[in-house]
Structure 1
Amino acid sequence: MRFLKVFFALIIISSSAYSWAQVDYQISITEPEHHLAKVRMELNVAEAKALTLMLPSWRSGKYKILDLANGISGFSAVDAQGKAINWQKTEKSSWTLEPAAPGKVVVEYTVYANQLVERTRHIDETHAYINASSYLMFSQPHKAEAVSVQLEVPEGWRSFSGMDKKDNEHKFIAANYDVLADSPIETGINQHHNFQVDGRDYDLVIWGEGNYNAEQMQKDLAKLVQQTDSIWQGYPYNRYLFIVHATDGVRGATEHLNSTVIQRDRFTFAPRANYLEFLGTASHEIVHTWNVKAYRPAGLVPYDYINPNYSSLLWISEGSTSYFQNQLLLRAGLMTKAEFYQDLTKRLHRFMHTPGRLVQSVAEGSFDSWISSGGDHGANFNVSIYSEGYIASWLLDELILRQSGRKASYRELHNQLYQRFAKTTAFTAEDVIQIASELTGEDQNLWWQQQIEQPMKFEPEQLLASFGLQWQRGKERETFTGITAEDKSGFALVQRVERDSPAWKAGFTSEDLIVAINALQLKGDLSHRLQDFKAGDKVQVSYFRQGRLQHQQLVLADKPKGIGKIEPVAKPSRQQKAMHKAWLGVEL
Structure 2
Amino acid sequence: MPRHTLLALALTLALPALAVSSASVAQTSPQAPVYATSTTPYPGTITLEVDATNLSQRVFTVKQRIPVQAGEVTLLFPKWLPGNHADYGRVDKVAGLQISANGQKIAWKRDPLDVYAFKVDVPQGATNLDVAFQFISPTDREQGRVVMTPNMLNLQWNTVALYPAGYAASAITFAPSVKLPAGWQAATALELQGRAGDVVTYKPVDFDTLVDSPMFAGRYFKTIDLSNGVGKPVRLNVVADDAKYLDAKPDHIDAHRRLVQQMRKLYGAEHYDHYDFLFALSGQMSGIGLEHHRSSENGVGVKYFTSWDPKSGSTDLLAHEYNHSWDGKYRRGADLTTPSFNTPMQGSLLWVYEGQTQYWGNVITARAGLRNFDTAKDALALVAATYAENRAGLSWRALQDTTNDPIIAKRTSKAYGSWQLSEDYYSGGQMIWLEVDARLRAKSNNKVSLDDFAKKFFGMNDGDFKVNPYTFEDVAATLNSLVADDWGKFLHDRLDGKVPLTGGIEASGWRLVFKDKPNAYAKAAAAEYGRGGADFVYSLGLSVGGDGVISNVRWDSPAFNAGIGPGMTAMAVNGKQYSSEVLEDAVKAAKTDKKPIELLVKEFDLYRTIQLPYYDGLRYPHLERIEGKADLLSAIYAPKK
The two structures share one fold, judged by TM-score above 0.5 = yes
d(CA) in 2 for partners of 1:155, 1:475:
55
Per-residue deviation, 1:386: 2.1
> Which residue pairs with 1:583 in the alignment?
636
d(CA) in 1 for partners of 2:86, 2:581:
34
> Which residue pairs with 2:236 in the alignment?
204
> Which residue pairs with 1:5 in the alignment?
none
1:485–1:526 CA contact under 8 A, matched in 2: no
Per-residue deviation, 1:476: 8.2
2:417 pairs with 1:378: yes
Q: Against the structure 1 CA distance between its residues 529 and 120, is the aligned structure 2 distance closer, same or farther, given a 3 Å change threshold?
A: closer
Partner-residue secondary structure (3-state), 1:289: coil
Write out per-residue CA displacement over residues 392-412 of structure 1, whole angstroms, 9 at most, x where no aligned residue.
111121222222333322222
> Which residue pairs with 1:28 in the alignment?
51
Partner-residue secondary structure (3-state), 2:208: helix
Per-residue deviation, 1:124: 4.2
Amino acid in the other structure paired with 1:297: G
Per-residue deviation, 1:131: 0.5
Amino acid in the other structure paired with 1:177: F
Partner-residue secondary structure (3-state), 1:399: helix
d(CA) in 2 for partners of 1:19, 1:298:
25
d(CA) in 2 for partners of 1:99, 1:475:
71
Q: Against the structure 1 CA distance between its residues 234 and 109, is the aligned structure 2 distance closer, same or farther, given a 3 Å change threshold?
A: same
Per-residue deviation, 1:452: 1.7
d(CA) in 2 for partners of 1:436, 1:276:
35
Per-residue deviation, 1:451: 1.1
> Which residue pairs with 1:298 in the alignment?
334
Q: Against the structure 1 CA distance between its residues 204 and 546, is the aligned structure 2 distance closer, same or farther, given a 3 Å change threshold?
A: same
1:113–1:123 CA contact under 8 A, matched in 2: yes
Which residue of 367, 370, 374 corresponds with 2:404?
367
Q: Against the structure 1 CA distance between its residues 410 and 530, is the aligned structure 2 distance closer, same or farther, given a 3 Å change threshold?
A: same
Pairing 1:424-573 to 2, within 5 Å after superposition: 424-454=467-497, 456-457=499-500, 463-471=504-512, 473-474=514-515, 480-488=539-547, 492-518=548-574, 520-522=576-578, 527-528=583-584, 530-531=586-587, 533-535=589-591, 536-559=594-617, 561-564=619-622, 566-568=623-625, 572=628
Per-residue deviation, 1:519: 5.0
d(CA) in 1 for partners of 2:60, 2:303:
30
Partner-residue secondary structure (3-state), 1:534: helix
Partner-residue secondary structure (3-state), 2:276: strand
d(CA) in 2 for partners of 1:308, 1:19:
22
Per-residue deviation, 1:581: 6.7
> Which residue pairs with 1:93 in the alignment?
116
Per-residue deviation, 1:381: 3.4
Write out per-residue CA displacement over residues 288-327 of structure 1, whole angstroms, 9 at most, x where no aligned residue.
1111011111121116534652212212211211211232
2:270–2:459 CA contact under 8 A, matched in 1: no
Pairing 1:18-97 to 2, within 5 Å after superposition: 20-45=43-68, 47-57=69-79, 59-63=81-85, 65-66=87-88, 68-79=90-101, 81-91=102-112, 92-97=115-120
Partner-residue secondary structure (3-state), 1:368: helix
Write out per-residue CA displacement over residues 249-293 of structure 1, whole angstroms, 9 at most, x where no aligned residue.
533321111111211121344534699664521111111111101
Which residue of 171, 174, 189 corresponds with 1:162?
189
Amino acid in the other structure paired with 1:453: D
d(CA) in 1 for partners of 2:281, 2:502:
41
The answer for unaligned runs of 5 or more in structure 2 is: 1-39, 519-535
> Which residue pairs with 2:247 in the alignment?
213
Partner-residue secondary structure (3-state), 1:302: coil
Per-residue deviation, 1:34: 1.6
Per-residue deviation, 1:33: 2.2
Pairing 1:142-157 to 2, within 5 Å after superposition: 142=167, 143=169, 144-157=171-184
> Which residue pairs with 1:321 in the alignment?
357
Amino acid in the other structure paired with 1:557: Y
2:289–2:298 CA contact under 8 A, matched in 1: yes
Q: Against the structure 1 CA distance between its residues 539 and 527, is the aligned structure 2 distance closer, same or farther, given a 3 Å change threshold?
A: closer
Amino acid in the other structure paired with 1:361: A
Partner-residue secondary structure (3-state), 1:511: coil
The answer for unaligned runs of 5 or more in structure 1 is: 1-16
d(CA) in 1 for partners of 2:56, 2:62:
17
2:222 pairs with 1:191: yes
> Which residue pairs with 1:224 in the alignment?
259
Amino acid in the other structure paired with 2:454: H
d(CA) in 2 for partners of 1:96, 1:198:
50
Say which is worse superposed, 278-287 or 541-550, in terms of deviation: 541-550
Per-residue deviation, 1:137: 1.8
> Which residue pairs with 1:4 in the alignment?
none
Per-residue deviation, 1:248: 0.8
Amino acid in the other structure paired with 1:136: A
Per-residue deviation, 1:529: 5.1
Q: Percent identity at matched positions?
A: 17
1:308–1:370 CA contact under 8 A, matched in 2: no
Which residue of 339, 352, 364 corresponds with 2:375?
339
d(CA) in 2 for partners of 1:529, 1:78:
70
1:52–1:95 CA contact under 8 A, matched in 2: yes
TM-score, normalised with respect to structure 1: 0.85
Per-residue deviation, 1:549: 2.9
Q: Against the structure 1 CA distance between its residues 279 and 433, is the aligned structure 2 distance closer, same or farther, given a 3 Å change threshold?
A: same
Per-residue deviation, 1:184: 0.3
Partner-residue secondary structure (3-state), 2:60: strand
d(CA) in 2 for partners of 1:195, 1:336:
20
